[in-house]
Structure 1
Amino acid sequence: MASEDVVSKTTGESAVSTIVNLAEEAKLASEGVKAPSHALLSICKSLIAGGVAGGVSRSAVAPLERLKILLQVQNPHSIKYNGMIQGLKYIWRTEGIRGMFKGNGTNCARIVPNSAVKFFSYEQASSGILWLYRQQSGNEEANLTPLLRLGAGACAGIIAMSATYPMDMVRGRLTVQTENSPRQYRGIFHALSTVFREEGPRALYRGWLPSVIGVIPYVGLNFAVYESLKDWLIQTKRFGLAENSELSVTTRLACGAAAGTVGQTVAYPLDVIRRRMQMVGWKDASSVLTADGKSKTPLEYTGMVDAFRKTVRHEGFGALYKGLVPNSVKVVPSIAIAFVTYEVVKDVLGVEMRISD
């Protein structure tokens, strides 16, 4: 009888052990299924937040964005846009409200995926760089330095720019064309197909090199200045702006404005050269029309250095900063809105990781 009890007890323990093991295996299997699903959902939310941030920030400053491009590429012998206020009034008088937002649909179609890829790439790049930095330094508590943030931002900018460059190229042409231009692109896909067919696939990436070179300091400094300034304010608690290790929306907007101002001032000449190289091969660009609307021979650039040289020689060094004033007015709210919108949308969507983390 005792032996039967022992056998029964042993059998019971064995059954319980089996059930526990099966439950643990089921739990692990369940976690294994949920983990990739959870990671994918987090990635999608991060991309959505970046896309929304880009669309909102760019639409808010669309008229200034168009004026900036028109100032960059206008014919120096036939000045139509002479400053920010006069330029905006001229566009309003000649083209109305639609003229103020011309090219914004294409711009958003480009900036939404660009912004999504940029913010997500920055998070991934900063995580990878931080891991390598901790491994090399042997300090598991180390944080990203401003220089490392600059590197992560540069990586993000290069990836995002390369992925969406053809959209940026045709956006520039859609923005520049007027009612008097003989060539009329009907939209994004018509512009893409027309440039591809008439000028070849390489034309879609014309001006890519100065764009990539320019995006390194521009996007890199945007992220580095924004994140470093936020960290400095939180750690030092200067001016009483940080409460419970958090910054207000207004303070974060100010940090974003400072970041945008620094980045665009450094990279602006490359943006001018990029835009001019994009117009090469398009005989109907406003930059190569005389006052009476007749076409004249456009300047041809053999490369980025040649574009710099010819621009400075024909128009002076100041031409590299054409449109800087409206661009500065545009960048201050645009970058600020993008950063803050990104963080707010991620909070709303419930994404755990933020840029600072």
Structure 2
Amino acid sequence: MSPAPNHGTGHTRETELSSKPHVRRIFSHVKLENLLAGLSGGVVSTLVLHPLDLVKIRFAVSDGLELRPKYSGILHCMKSVWQKEGLRGLYQGVTPNVWGAGTSWGLYFFFYSAIKGYTKEGRHAELSAAEHLVSAAEAGILTLTITNPIWVTKTRLVLQYNADSTSKQYKGMVDALVKIYRHEGVPGLYKGFVPGLFGTSHGALQFMAYEELKRDYNKYKKVPSDVKLNALEYITMAALSKIFAVVTTYPYQVVRARLQDQHNRYSGVIDVIRRTWRNEGIYGFYKGIIPNVIRVTPACCITFVVYENVSRFLLGQNK
């Protein structure tokens, strides 16, 4: 009689038993403090800098449609919105933006710290740049899957122009979520998801650069890699890593914003790319990059400084 069947069954049972501690080890690196710290940083930075996000999106979708207001620059856009709609106009779409940014940053740090901790488990050596990149990309995909509907509502609310009363179809974030789901179904809530997946490379490149800069800087100072830096040092690392990521990956944001725009219809990512290239050339893929850099660089600095300090405080409290 062949022992193979018994051997196979035993192997399966051993695999099942060994997978349980494997899962437990992953969850042992999950820390609620990272979620709360990331959420705090995302909310603070979004509340301060939302008007620049509104400007960035309006420039990103400026494809020549008559209904769109015409702006000559960042200040002109902000001044025009202020004159027509006041402070409320500059903060149009802020609710989903706060929810989206807070949730995204919170989940991103939450997943990233857990994945990074699991990858590093049992090792004395630091993670490589590639491992930081992969950890951040995995965290980004998980985060986007959860938050994409919030970003769709933010884009729709930001693109409700005061001059065009017919486009004022959403009363707020919840109303937008309900109406998008009712009229467009789940696919409507996940418009822009594919370019968003490409956009996870943005976060991955940013976190990789941030980790590498911190490690090299601490190595230069001859101190441990996890030593706490001062606020200015965190700001410098965050700003450099953010600018690097923005310049490298910005076109996906234009593609995503145009897919989510309620005033135009595209059949998919390829259609957006083809029409943007045909009508606007390479410049079309970088529309809104200046207000984006002006917004996201300080936003990232605020987020990282708040995150590093809040997470250290919360984790310190639990020691």
| Coarse TM-score class (shorter-chain normalised) | 0.7 to 0.9
Q: Following the alignment from structure 1 to structure 2, what is the Cα–Cα distance between the partners of residues 107 and 81?
A: 23
| Matched residue type, 2:203 | V
Which of 184, 195, 202 is 2:169 aligned to?
Answer: 184
- After TM superposition, the score normalised by the length of structure 1 is 0.75
**Matched residue of 1:61: which SS?**
helix
Deviation, 1:94, is 1.7
Listed as ranges, the gaps of 5+ residues in structure 1 are 1-35, 135-139, 286-297
Q: Give the aligned partner of residue 155 of structure 1.
A: 138
Whether the 8 Å contact between 1:234 and 1:246 is mirrored in structure 2 is: no
Deviations 1:198-237, CA, capped at 9 Å, x for gaps: 1222111111001111122x10011111111011111112
Q: Give the aligned partner of residue 208 of structure 2.
A: 224
Deviation, 1:44, is 2.6
Q: Give the aligned partner of residue 106 of structure 1.
A: 96
Which of 53, 58, 74 is 1:65 aligned to?
Answer: 53
Deviation, 1:352, is 7.8
| Matched residue type, 1:215 | T
Deviations 1:182-205, CA, capped at 9 Å, x for gaps: 142011111011111112221111
Deviations 1:267-311, CA, capped at 9 Å, x for gaps: 1100100110112xx3xx3xxxxxxxxxxxx4x322212210111
Which of 208, 213, 216 is 2:193 aligned to?
Answer: 208
Which of 281, 291, 302 is 2:267 aligned to?
Answer: 302
- Mark the structure with the bigger radius of gyration: 1
Q: Give the aligned partner of residue 234 of structure 1.
A: 218
Q: Following the alignment from structure 2 to structure 1, what is the Cα–Cα distance between the partners of residues 58 and 255?
A: 13
RMSD across aligned positions (CA)? 2.5
Q: Which runs of 4+ in 1 moved over 6 A?
A: 241-244
Q: Give the aligned partner of residue 317 of structure 1.
A: 282
Deviations 1:88-145, CA, capped at 9 Å, x for gaps: 22222222111111111121112211111100100011122224xx6xxxxx321111
Whether the 8 Å contact between 2:152 and 2:189 is mirrored in structure 1 is: yes
Q: Following the alignment from structure 2 to structure 1, what is the Cα–Cα distance between the partners of residues 225 and 152?
A: 44
Percent sequence identity is: 31
Deviation, 1:243, is 12
Whether the 8 Å contact between 2:40 and 2:306 is mirrored in structure 1 is: yes
Deviations 1:323-353, CA, capped at 9 Å, x for gaps: 0000011111111111111111112223589
Q: Give the aligned partner of residue 19 of structure 2.
A: none
Q: Following the alignment from structure 1 to structure 2, what is the Cα–Cα distance between the partners of residues 246 and 350?
A: 13
1:174 has 2:157 as partner: yes
Whether the 8 Å contact between 2:180 and 2:189 is mirrored in structure 1 is: yes
Which of 118, 121, 141 is 2:108 aligned to?
Answer: 118
Q: Following the alignment from structure 1 to structure 2, what is the Cα–Cα distance between the partners of residues 157 and 245?
A: 26
Whether the 8 Å contact between 1:125 and 1:152 is mirrored in structure 2 is: yes
Cα pair distance change 1:244/1:335, threshold 3 Å: closer
Q: Which moved more, 1:202-211 or 1:74-83?
A: 74-83
Deviations 1:44-88, CA, capped at 9 Å, x for gaps: 322111111110111221110000001111242555122212212
- After TM superposition, the score normalised by the length of structure 2 is 0.84
Q: Give the aligned partner of residue 34 of structure 2.
A: 46
Listed as ranges, the gaps of 5+ residues in structure 2 are 1-23
